[in-house]
């Protein structure tokens, strides 16, 4: 699932962004100041950042200096409408610039456009003999349908989108179930094992002792 970080200190706008993006099928995480956003970017993975300029503490321009090295695309979101601010944001590497108040449908269209330019909206993913249609959520192996539950599908997609990376049980739980990873649970382990068996990844999806799992390309 595409993950978007919305950084805005105005709670109503942040909530509007989260609800609208989640209804459109994205996962949205909100941050309310620049420091909180920087901490999230350091610890988590995002496909796009919606970034307000007027933030308490570290402002959007200062945060952009940090984001630029990560390669995460940015859309600036701000009440300022001065041409100089738009030019500065674009010169710093932002993909787009939207002035408040904005129409949410226009924002979603711009989000889709940036994600598409960065190859984040592929409808067909292939790994070995496995094919995943991200629109219909249909999975086939060597041309045969693979019956997965919704959680198993989301775990599969998470691994395919992060080939070669170690994903901890905590990360998998937070990305698929949401919320804090509960103690004394084997939920992630059981779902991973069932998914792994269905898609035939016994030799490809490897446990990494004390860390989690890694899908080999």
**pLDDT one digit per residue (tens) for the chain, 217 residues:** 789 999 999 999 999 999 888 877 788 999 999 999 999 999 999 999 999 998 998 999 999 999 998 999 999 988 766 778 778 888 899 999 888 888 887 888 889 889 988 877 766 788 899 999 877 889 999 999 999 999 999 999 889 878 888 889 988 898 888 777 887 788 999 999 999 999 999 989 999 988 899 998 7
Quick one: pLDDT at residue 21? Answer: 87
Would you state the pLDDT for residue 176? 87
DSSP annotation of 115 reads H
The span from the CA of 98 to the CA of 155, in Å, is: 33
Interatomic CA distance for residues 29 and 49, integer angstroms = 10
Name the segment(s) of the chain with CATH classification 1.10.10.10.
Answer: 124-215
Q: Write down how long the chain is.
A: 217
3-state class (DSSP) for residue 9 = coil
Q: What pLDDT does residue 11 have? A: 94
Residues 4 and 111: beta-carbon distance below 8 Å: yes
- CATH 3.40.50.2300 residue spans of the chain: 3-117
pLDDT at 182: 83
pLDDT at residue 204 in the model: 92
Residue 121's H or E segment, with its range, is none
pTM of the entire structure? 0.59
Classify domain 3-117 at the CATH superfamily level: Response regulator (3.40.50.2300)
Are the beta carbons of 52 and 31 closer than 8 angstroms?
no
The domain 124-215 is placed in CATH, from the list 3.20.20.100, 1.10.10.10, 3.40.50.1580, 2.60.40.10, at: 1.10.10.10
pLDDT of residue 122: 65
pLDDT at 192: 96
Question: Omega before 101 cis (within 30°)?
Answer: yes
Tokens 């998914």 belong to 195
């Amino acid at each position: 699932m595409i993950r978007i970080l919305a950084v805005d200190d105005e709670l109503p706008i942040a909530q509007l962004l989260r609800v609208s993006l989640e209804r459109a099928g994205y996962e949205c995480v909100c941050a309310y100041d620049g420091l909180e956003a920087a901490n999230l970017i350091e610890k988590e993975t995002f496909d796009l950042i919606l970034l307000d300029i007027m933030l308490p503490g570290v402002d959007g321009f200062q945060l952009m200096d940090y984001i630029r090295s990560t390669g995460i695309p940015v859309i600036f979101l701000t009440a300022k409408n001065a041409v100089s601010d738009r030019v500065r944001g674009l010169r710093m590497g932002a993909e787009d610039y939207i002035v408040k108040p904005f129409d949410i449908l226009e924002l979603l269209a711009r989000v889709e456009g940036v994600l598409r330019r960065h190859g984040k909206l592929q409808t067909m993913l292939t790994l070995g003999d496995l094919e995943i249609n991200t629109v219909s959520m249909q999975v086939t192996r060597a041309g045969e349908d693979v019956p997965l539950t919704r959680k198993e599908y989301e775990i599969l997609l998470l691994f395919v989108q992060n080939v070669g990376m170690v994903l901890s049980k905590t990360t998998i739980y937070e990305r698929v179930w949401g919320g804090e990873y509960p103690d004394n649970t084997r939920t992630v382990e059981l779902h991973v094992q069932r998914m792994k068996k269905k898609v035939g990844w016994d030799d490809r999806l490897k446990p990494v002792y004390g860390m989690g799992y890694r899908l080999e390309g």
